[in-house]
Copies of this chain bind each other. A is one copy, B any other.
Amino acid sequence: MNYKIDNLQYCKWSRDIFKINRQAGLDAVHVTVVYHEDYDEFLGELKKWELFFKENSDLIFLGKSFKDIEKAREENKTAIFFGFQNCSPIEDDINLVEKVHELGCRFMQLTYNNQSLLATGCYEKIDSGVTNFGREVIKEMNRVGIVIDMSHSAEKSTLDAINLSEKPVAITHANPAFWHAAKRNKSNDLLKELSDSGGMLGLSLYPHHLKDNSNCTLMSFCEMVAKTADIMNVKHIGIGSDLCLDQPDSIVEWMRNGTWTINKNYGEGSKNKPGFPKQPHWFKDARGFLNLDEGLKKIGFSGEEINDILGNNWFNFYKNI
């Protein structure tokens, strides 16, 4: 059986988008539920999701384990797996790790761009690695079954997490820095360590992570995938598109600024380009998976490898955790 999985989306959710994901054949999507929201605010977001599930029960349901991906395939639906892009919902309380897991959380970034209580983000000047609290939280995430996601973390923190975690970690949405030297993209050394430890990389389609940004070509992207497969075992490469469909620019402002600064921070953007960038024409939404399939074929991947990259690798990762 071949599964199709997009392991990171943060769209302004609507029936239209759930339909598009079905048209793309996605059996599972890891969705970002919160960024900087604390535990109570996370509960508020859950209520919105309860309504989405109720009103779109013909298209989606809440996924809790790999079996829900199998179920989604059988029922022609998309299993939705919850994740956090920051550790804000567990606040400073290790007991909340188990609680957010009970409420459906299956992925949690130890940091967004800045320092968190757990580790250092990729926008800090100095990376001190995983903190005292971070070490305790990693053990607890391992125990309850939440995947450690280091997409927005700094390098030493990521290496620490790989070494400290008893289970493979994920970088759900980022690209290799050799292709495009964004702060968020990852070094070859780190990608190799990730792969060797059984971890997964979800390649991102977010223009700030792409060579030539919105003008990135499909073949440039697929060439990058091929080169990445020279560094990492191809079994550890997947897709985490980072699609932010229909989100207003106020959302990317919130993602970058939270409530930590009075002066505006533009993150990967700039004062002149503060908003969401335009998606490349070959990946306007998840239906771009069909273009990826063709591009990866042209670049020389086998059918099995393509199926692995477009979903089976993530499926196996879910299965092993």
Contact = CB atoms under 8 A, between A and B. Distances in A.
Interface in A86-141: 88, 91-95, 114-117, 120, 123-129, 131-134, 136, 139-140
A185 to B, nearest CB: 19
B117 A259 contact: no
A114 B129 contact: no
A261 interface: yes
Contact of A92 (B95, B124, B132, B259): B259
B117 A117 contact: yes
A38 interface: yes
A260 B120 contact: no
A92 to B, nearest CB: 6
B92 A136 contact: no
Nearest to A97: B262
A131 B157 CA distance: 15
Each complex incorporates copies of this chain amounting to 2
A236 interface: no
Name A's interface SS: loop
A258 interface: yes
Q: How large is the interface on A (under 10, 10 to 19, 20 to 34, 35 or more residues)?
A: 20 to 34
Contact of A115 (B38, B114, B125, B133): B133
Nearest to A137: B260
A36 interface: yes
A117 to B, nearest CB: 6
Nearest to A139: B262
A140 B262 CA distance: 9
Nearest to A154: B128
Contact of A126 (B38, B116, B128, B260): B128
A114 B136 CA distance: 12
Interface of A: 36, 38, 88, 91-95, 114-117, 120, 123-129, 131-134, 136, 139-140, 258-263
The 8 closest A-B pairs by CB, nearest first: A128-B128, A126-B128, A115-B131, A93-B259, A133-B260, A136-B261, A114-B132, A114-B133
